[in-house]
Amino acid sequence: MTQALADLLEEIKSIEPLPQVATRVMQIASDKDVVPRDLVEVIQTDAGVTAKVLKLCNSALYGFKREIASLPEAGNLLGVSTLVNLVLTSCAGRYFRNYGYTDPQATMPLWERSIATAIAGGVIARTSGKADRNRAYTIGLLENMGHLVLSRFVPEHREAMYTALSEGVSPLDAEARVYGLHHAEIGARLAERWNFPVVLVDAIRHHHTPDASDIDPAMASVAHLAEMVTQRVLLTDADTEMRYPQDDSALQRLGLAKGGIEGLVEPLEAELTKAKRVLEIA
């Protein structure tokens, strides 16, 4: 095992788990008989998460014509799956704002990317009808958590990454060469540590290789295409080397035409503009 890989594995172990309220909400939501009231009882035990969830409910992201004044009201209007996503969005932001960086703004692009991928995942799932859109949002939100870990190693290994990319190595293979693991595998290992359902772990692990998914290839395909749309929206021409290649088998699996995600670029830009204001992304 290389020193870089050993350091990387230690970094994965050192990351604080999701807040208990988020973990418990996910566990409860997996019960087929769950109702919003069950989640509300758990969420209300954390005043900070409660406040953030209500703030999101009353934001432009949802556009309710009247103010949502309580979690029970929010639960009745939004349902179980959307409540789960609100909790996860509220809790995940802290990893991008307070993860030991001297410059917290350095992680803002990663947070923006995660929110964009979450929104795109939900839209693609709904468009294709082949995956649950709320679960797709969750995966999109968290599928690139591995980049947070890798970014801790950027100063030390940046030159090696540039060298690999300049040699024509794909970004995913370059990560594996330089660090020992690529970001998708790192994200999956984090999800396992956080006791995520296996279908979420699988989709995170295979969001660049949906054909390799052995649990839910359709969900992995949604996760993959969500990132492809996000790349189109957020990456500039100067970022060409860091663009991950598109796997067209994901389009076929979801019954989408080859250019089927191009039409999602403009709607995603509009939704992301709203989300950035609400989530205070610079």
In the block, tokens 């006791």 appear at: 195
pTM of the model: 0.88
Query: Residue 74 is inside which H or E element, if any?
Result: helix 71-78
At the topology level, CATH places domain 3-17+102-278 in Hypothetical protein af1432 (1.10.3210)
In the block, tokens 């998708």 appear at: 184
Q: At residue 47, what is the residue type?
A: A
Q: At residue 215, what is the residue type?
A: I
pLDDT one digit per residue (tens) for the chain, 282 residues: 677 777 778 877 777 778 889 989 988 988 889 999 999 999 999 999 999 899 888 887 777 878 899 999 999 988 999 999 999 998 888 887 665 554 556 678 888 899 999 999 999 999 999 999 989 999 999 999 998 888 766 667 778 888 998 898 999 999 999 888 999 999 999 899 888 889 999 999 999 999 999 999 999 999 999 999 999 999 876 566 678 999 999 999 999 988 778 888 888 888 888 888 777 665
Q: Is 14 exposed, middle or buried (CB count within 10 Å of its CB: 0-12, 13-18, 19+)?
A: exposed
Please provide the DSSP assignment of 135-176 as one string.
HHHHHHHHTTTHHHHHHTTHHHHHHHHHHHHHTT--HHHHHH
Angle, vertex CA 84, rays to CA 79 and CA 88, nearest 5: 150
The answer to whether 150 and 183 are in contact (CB under 8 A) is yes
Q: How many CB atoms lie within 10 A of CB 118?
A: 25
Which phi and psi (to 5°) does residue 31 adopt? -75, 125
The answer to whether 111 and 279 are in contact (CB under 8 A) is yes
Structure tokens at 144: 């690139």
Alpha helices in 79-143 (DSSP H): 80-97, 108-128, 133-142
